[in-house]
Amino acid sequence: MAAKGHRSSSPFTCTLSIRTSRRTELKDVTGEIKAAIHESGCADGVCYLYVPHTTAGVLINEGDDPAVARDIEATLDRLIPHGAGYKHAEGNSDSHIKTALIGSSETVWIENGRLVLGRWQAIFLAEFDGPRTRELRVKIVPDPPSNET
């Protein structure tokens, strides 16, 4: 993972560079997102995640058992097979369809400097036309200061 970013007075933004190793791959990027939150110094707020590609996305699902990610990969490949006679000339229509179903963005709360994820949840970059190096854009927006006295 490589990150390049800048720190400003309000939102913190960075772009993570994620290398995938298979054509279809759910790659756990939770650690990289946690590192970005730590770097931002945000205590409470929102973390926006965006993948600016048409054949890769981002999702939240179980991260404790790697077999779950492999099952999702296999099921998507079975339901939307590569080379099934699609009309798109580049030959990667299955990748576009999978991304359309998974989506290219997620929003996660931050509380006490930590991602608010369920006990078993993790954040995955969803690669459908790899292996490649992909961008995952991260924007961390702190909550406004409380006016309590």
Query: Which three-class secondary structure state does DSSP give residue 118?
Result: coil
pLDDT tens per residue across span 104-113 = 999 999 999 9
Report the predicted TM-score, pTM, of the whole model to 2 decimal places. Answer: 0.91
pLDDT at 149: 52
pLDDT band at 8 (very low <50, low <70, confident <90, very high): very low
The answer to whether residue 4 scores a pLDDT higher than 80 is: no
Domain covering 2-142 assigned CATH 2.60.120.460 in the classification: yes
pLDDT tens per residue across span 26-73 = 999 999 999 999 999 999 999 999 999 999 999 999 999 999 999 999
Place of tokens 């078993």: 120
pLDDT at 10: 84
Query: What ranges do the domains of the chain cover?
Result: 2-142
What are the residues facing 16 on neighbouring strands? 3, 136
